[in-house]
Structure 1
C-alpha cells in the first residue's frame, strides 16, 4: 500500500468516525431532535432491517411538571382569580402571592390605586419550567381593554401552595398611577 493510499484510507476512516460521532450526538450543539431519535420501529417493536442491533430507549424523567399538573393548574388559576377579584381582601390577595405577607403594602397600593384597582387578568395557559415553577400566559385588561403585559407571568410553589410569583406582581405596578414596587422587587 502506498503512502497516498494509506492517507486516503485514513481520511475515509476519519470521515466515517465523524459521521458516526455526529449520529450519536446528544443534540447539545443545537441539533434538532429529529437528528437524535432512534430509528422507528415496526409494529413488532423491532427496528427496520439496517444491520444495526435494536436498542431499547427508556424515557428520561424531565422533572419539569408537578406530580399532578391538572391540580397545579387549577390552583394557579384560582390564585390569579383571587388576586384580581375586586371583592378580594388584602389578606386574600397576599395569601396567593409569593412572600405576599411581606409585600402586602405594595399589593394594597396596587389595588387602592385608581388605575391598578381596575386591572383584571385572564389566564390563558400554564406551562411548567420545573416541578415548582410555572410560566403563566395571561391577558391583562383594564376596563375591558387589553394592556401590554410586557411578557408572561409566573407562579411558584411556596409552603406547598402554588402562588403568583412576586416578580409578576412587581411588574404589574407599572400599570398603576401610584403603586411603587416593594424593595424586595429589586
Structure 2
C-alpha cells in the first residue's frame, strides 16, 4: 500500500512547476520516526497568524491553520483552486496539481497531520500520515509548511520530496 501511495505522485513528476519554485537546493523532507497522538482541531483554517521572531505570534492559531490547510491539500474532495491556494507558489505549480488531481490514485489520497513544530516565524516541520482509501500508506512522514501571504501552506519542497519518493530522481524544474 505504501508503494501505491508513493506512486500516486509519479504523473506529477513531469510537470513539477517552473524554475522559480521553492526548495530546490535543500534536502527533501524525510519520514520521521516519531508519531504524536494529538487530535486535529476543527477550527477555521482561514485565520491568519502574524509572524515575528522564531515562531508565529499566535502559535495555536498558526498550528490549526497548518493542520487544516495540509489536510485540505491532500483531500480528494477539494477543488484544484482550493488546493492551489494552500500550496506554496500554487499558481506556479498548477501543472503538478492538475496531474496529481487527474490521477485516479490521487483521488484516493488523504493526510492526517500529527504534529506541527515551528522552526521560524514562517516555517514549520509537519509530521503526518499519508492515507490511501482511508488506510495509512505512509505513516510518520515529515514535510514542511511555509507562511506565504499570511497563509500557512504545504511547501513545494514537500511536494517535490513525494514526487522523488515515486522513483523520479529528476522531477523537473521547480522541484
The match for 2:77 is: 87
Q: Which structure's relative contact order is higher, taking Cα pairs within 8 Å and 6+ residues apart?
A: 2
Contact 2:128 2:140 in 1 (8 A): no
Q: 5+ unaligned residues in a row in structure 1: which ranges? A: 1-61
More helix by share: 1
Q: 1:158 aligns with which of 120, 124, 148?
A: 148
The match for 1:71 is: 61
Aligned residues: 123
Cα 1:157–1:182 shift into 2, 3 Å: farther
Aligned equivalents of 2:133 and 2:164: distance in 1?
16
SS of aligned partner of 2:56: coil
Cα 1:182–1:104 shift into 2, 3 Å: farther
Q: What is the TM-score with the length of structure 1 in the denominator?
A: 0.59
Contact 1:141 1:147 in 2 (8 A): yes
Q: What is the TM-score with the length of structure 2 in the denominator?
A: 0.62
The match for 1:168 is: 158
Q: Which moved more, 1:165-174 or 1:112-121?
A: 165-174
Could you report, residue by residue, the CA deviation over 1:47-83 in whole angstroms, capped at 9, with x for unpaired residues? xxxxxxxxxxxxxxx9331110011011111211221
Larger radius of gyration: 1
Q: 5+ unaligned residues in a row in structure 2: which ranges? A: 1-51
RMSD: 2.5
